[in-house]
């Protein structure tokens, strides 16, 4: 069975895949098993690939491999590896924990907003006239309308509509929650709520660290997440102007369907798994796809900087664009944040395709 793909793929083999034999395959398999009952929601994948992934997942569920060796044998029997023949790049993200309140006050004055009624994801092939370049818009009785961007919202475009979900103590925290897409919030009474992604205004994402680099404020190495936070703290009079340069704005919902011991919900609708969940560009990859990522993450403070790990594509993000672009979910809290903020490294990507499929490059004849 063939499926069309726009990926530049090169056949590989497990024996020559550096680090493959040393990985914890059982942990990777357990992450893969989350998709056995998933409908692939949010995926842009070809139906044949999605069906084949689901079938492989259910076979693993039936066989129930219980050791790393058995899990490795399963992947090698059911999948074939293909290198993505493009220069790869990885960053990392995490779920921050921040201070907040369900009521505004002089201390808690930076709101996270719920999505307004009518917020709709636009289909690339059917974007209404006048909304080119947008991924989301507001559906009204008169058609689709562009949402206000970050600057307009900072100026009060959503004020008075009852969309505030929770108020944070620090506007810098609020901005980084937008970048990460989810957060745990330590409320005034000591309880914890979790907020997760619920949509966006649809405007293009701009990395404000790159804006500073382009302006000569420093190098990319200066503006890791920690470096950018330090700059924002040290330059409060310039902070909001820099925020406005990123027109993309994220909306949130309170997440109550998963326990605090599980990760936040990713774009595939499943809890993320630290070190095994990979955010990808869904224009090129299907959710549920196993992806072996190889990277030297020296400088990120990891005990084992050689990252050679089988991960599962289950999330995406505004900045994740390209066939060989990935974002590694590191977990929740400050330690995960310290590691995630330092990851900006070249990487190799090897996707595992079910053996029942043969990839057919786009444009190749039948």
User: Residue 124 pLDDT > 80, yes or no?
Assistant: no
Q: Give the other-Cβ count within 10 Å of 76's Cβ.
A: 17
Average pLDDT over residues 322-335: 91
81 vs 124, residue with greater confidence: 81
Residue % of the chain over a pLDDT of 70: 95
Strand-pairing partners, residue 9, are 84
User: Residue 36: what are its φ and ψ, rounded to 5°?
Assistant: -65, -30
| DSSP H or E run through 25 | helix 25-32
Answer whether residue 318 shows pLDDT above 80: no
Looking at residue 288, what is its pLDDT? 94
pLDDT score at 280:
95
**pLDDT (tens digit per residue) in 70-90:** 999 999 999 999 999 999 999
The pLDDT of residue 41 is 43
* CATH topology classification for 96-255: Ribosomal Protein L25; Chain P (2.40.240)
Mean pLDDT across the chain: 90
Strands 88-95, 325-332: parallel, antiparallel or unpaired by DSSP?
parallel
Dihedral angle of Cα 281, 287, 291, 297, to the nearest 10 degrees: 50
What is the enclosing helix (H) or strand (E) of 165? strand 164-168
The dotted CATH code for 2-94+262-361 is: 2.40.40.10
Question: Which pLDDT band holds residue 44 (cuts at 50, 70, 90)?
Answer: very low
Q: How confident is the model at residue 38 (pLDDT cuts 50, 70, 90)?
A: low
pLDDT for position 6? 75
Q: What is the pLDDT of residue 182?
A: 86
Give dist(CA 89, CA 348) in Å, integer: 8
pLDDT score recorded for residue 208:
96
pTM to 2 decimals?
Answer: 0.71
Per-residue confidence (pLDDT) for residue 107, from 0 to 100: 96
Band of the pLDDT at 40, cuts 50, 70, 90?
Answer: very low
Q: Which of 323, 366, 341 is nearest to 86 (CA)?
A: 323
User: d(Cα 43, Cα 243) in Å, to the nearest integer?
Assistant: 30
Residue 39, pLDDT > 80, answer: no
**Where along the chain do its domains lie?**
2-94+262-361, 96-255
- Hey, what long-range contacts does 240-245 have (CB within 8 A, 24 or more apart)? 240/154, 240/171, 242/208, 242/211, 242/212, 243/150, 243/154, 243/171, 243/175, 243/208, 244/150, 244/151, 244/154, 245/206, 245/208, 245/211
Provide φ and ψ at 80, rounded to 5°.
-120, 135
């Amino acid at each position: 069975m063939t499926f069309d793909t726009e990926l530049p793929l090169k056949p590989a083999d497990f024996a020559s895949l550096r680090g493959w034999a040393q990985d914890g395959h059982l942990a990777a398999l357990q992450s893969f098993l989350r998709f056995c009952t998933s409908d692939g929601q949010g995926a842009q994948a070809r139906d044949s690939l999605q069906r084949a992934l689901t079938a492989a997942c259910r076979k693993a569920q039936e066989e129930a491999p219980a050791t790393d060796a058995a899990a490795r044998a399963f992947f090698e029997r059911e999948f074939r590896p293909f290198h993505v023949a493009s220069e790869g790049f990885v960053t990392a993200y995490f779920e921050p924990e921040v201070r907040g309140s369900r009521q505004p006050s002089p201390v808690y004055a930076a709101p996270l907003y719920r999505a307004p009624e009518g917020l709709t994801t636009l289909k690339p092939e059917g974007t209404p006239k006048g909304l080119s370049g947008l991924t989301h818009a507001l559906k009204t009785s008169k058609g689709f309308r562009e949402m206000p961007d970050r600057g307009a919202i900072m100026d009060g475009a959503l004020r008075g509509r009852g969309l505030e979900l929770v108020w944070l103590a620090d506007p810098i925290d609020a901005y980084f929650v937008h970048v990460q897409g989810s957060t745990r919030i330590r409320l005034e009474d000591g309880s914890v709520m979790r907020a997760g992604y619920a949509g966006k205004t649809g405007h293009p994402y701009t990395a404000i660290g790159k804006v500073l680099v382009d302006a000569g404020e420093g190098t990319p190495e200066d503006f890791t997440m920690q470096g950018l936070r330090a700059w924002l703290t040290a330059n409060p009079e310039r902070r909001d102007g820099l925020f406005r340069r990123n027109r993309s704005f994220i909306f949130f919902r309170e997440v109550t369907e998963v326990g605090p011991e599980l990760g936040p919900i990713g774009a595939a609708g499943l809890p993320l798994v630290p070190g095994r969940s990979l955010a990808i560009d869904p224009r090129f990859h299907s959710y549920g796809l196993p992806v072996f990522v190889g990277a030297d993450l020296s400088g990120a403070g990891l005990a084992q900087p050689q990252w050679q790990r089988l991960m599962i594509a289950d999330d995406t993000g505004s900045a994740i664009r390209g066939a060989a672009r990935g974002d590694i979910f590191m977990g929740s809290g400050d330690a995960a944040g310290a590691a995630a903020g330092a990851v900006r490294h070249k990487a190799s990507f090897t996707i595992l395709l079910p053996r029942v499929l043969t990839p057919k490059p786009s444009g190749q004849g039948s």
